[in-house]
Amino acid sequence: MITVYSDEHKYHHGSGELFRGSVVPCVENPDRASEILSRIRTIGLGDVRPAHDFGLSPVYRVHTERFIAFLQSAFDQWKSISDNPDALPSAWTSHRPSAEEPQSINGWLGYYSFDAGTPITAGTWRAAKAAADTALTAQAIVREGAPAAFALTRPPGHHASSEQYGGYCFLNNAAIAAEAMLRDGADRVAIIDIDYHHGNGTQAIFYDRSDVLFVSIHADPAQEYPFYHGYAQETGNESGEGFNVNYPLPIGTGWERYREALDDGLRRISTYGPDALVVSLGVDTFDGDPLGKFRLTSDNFTEIGRRISELSTPTLFILEGGYDLESIGLNVTNVLCGFEE
């Protein structure tokens, strides 16, 4: 399988995030991508290709212009009030989207974000744009006939909505790629999100639409981040009704229960009959991940890839979460190798 990778991800390296009341080193860091790339080369998964620059028009199909302008300029404004290398919000609006857009950087940060775990650094925009280009380059490889491709992206994307960032995510790489598939002629695209955390941003972007089916298997938001979205009763709105499917699972979920949700989600996708599939590939479902509390093993990831391949649909894998550096390379490549088997 072809991997698309850009070194530019290294420009996003926050020093700290607010976690359980303390500022701690960011778990979403460049070592994650390095570990996966190293494993891909060790096992000889396939070609590793650079990302092309697609400009901003595919990004604007998902995100608003004012949100992009904010991401591009936030750090420069932050520098005028702070020497801290991480711009973090400390106040949030409770009246989105009707509140007036603030005119100060502290107000702006809270207006466009939903947590304090996602610092904007000097290189964040550059890295986030490169991640979107990485996803779009891999999408083009699938469009040109490859059965699958892997976009080795960071920062991740599935928590970002049209104009909010958070959960380590700035641009929604999976949504941008899905929109590119539609523009390239797909009538229907399915996204399956197997990250431990609900893909609230992706859900929000496509919630009113029937041309993208969103299926997410994740930890119950009653217990886990992102807390306010990801419940089973969130099934879509208006013409999108029935095209949003959530499988919230309890803390401690192991393979048996996970497999039931996966198989049911894959059945829903098969019935939908998409022209292309996007996999939001998070491996923080691994037993031992510092953020996740599921109990999947490395072998289970091989089986996940194998089951996804049974859809026989052109498939674009896009990296989301996964924070155990010792296992992340193995677990990600196990999904990809399971698919190729």
> Where does this chain bind Zn ion (CB under 5 A)?
195-197, 282, 284, 321
Can you point out the beta strands (E) in the chain? 2-5, 17-19, 22-24, 48-49, 148-152, 189-193, 212-219, 244-249, 276-281, 315-319
- Residue 166 or 240: the one with the smaller Cβ distance to Zn ion is 166
Q: In the complex, which residue's CB is closest to Zn ion?
A: 321
- Residue 181 or 304: the one with the smaller Cβ distance to Zn ion is 304
Q: Does 63 qualify as catalytic in the annotation?
A: no
Characterize the bridge pairing of strands 244-249 and 315-319: unpaired
> Nearest distance from residue 197's CB to Zn ion, in Å?
4
> Nearest distance from residue 49's CB to Zn ion, in Å?
26
What secondary structure does DSSP assign to 225-267, as a single string? TT-SS--TT----GGGTTSEEEEEE-TT--HHHHHHHHHHHHH
> Nearest distance from residue 290's CB to Zn ion, in Å?
11
Structure tokens at 310: 């049974």
AA identity, residue 191? I
Say which residues have a Cβ less than 8 Å from residue 92's Cβ, sequence separation at least 6: 110, 111, 113, 114
Q: Which residues pair with 246 in a beta bridge?
A: 216
> Nearest distance from residue 308's CB to Zn ion, in Å?
18
> Nearest distance from residue 196's CB to Zn ion, in Å?
5
- Residue 292 or 305: the one with the smaller Cβ distance to Zn ion is 292
- Residue 141 or 169: the one with the smaller Cβ distance to Zn ion is 169
CA-to-CA distance for 297 and 12, rounded, in angstroms? 29
Say which residues have a Cβ less than 8 Å from residue 153's Cβ, sequence separation at least 6: 9, 131, 134, 135, 173, 318, 319
CA-to-CA distance for 39 and 327, rounded, in angstroms? 10
* Beta carbons within 10 angstroms of residue 242's beta carbon: 12
- Residue 195 or 303: the one with the smaller Cβ distance to Zn ion is 195
- Catalytic site residue from 9, 13, 159, 197: 159
- Residue 155 or 274: the one with the smaller Cβ distance to Zn ion is 155
Structure tokens at 272: 């939908």
> Nearest distance from residue 221's CB to Zn ion, in Å?
12
**Catalytic center residues:** 159
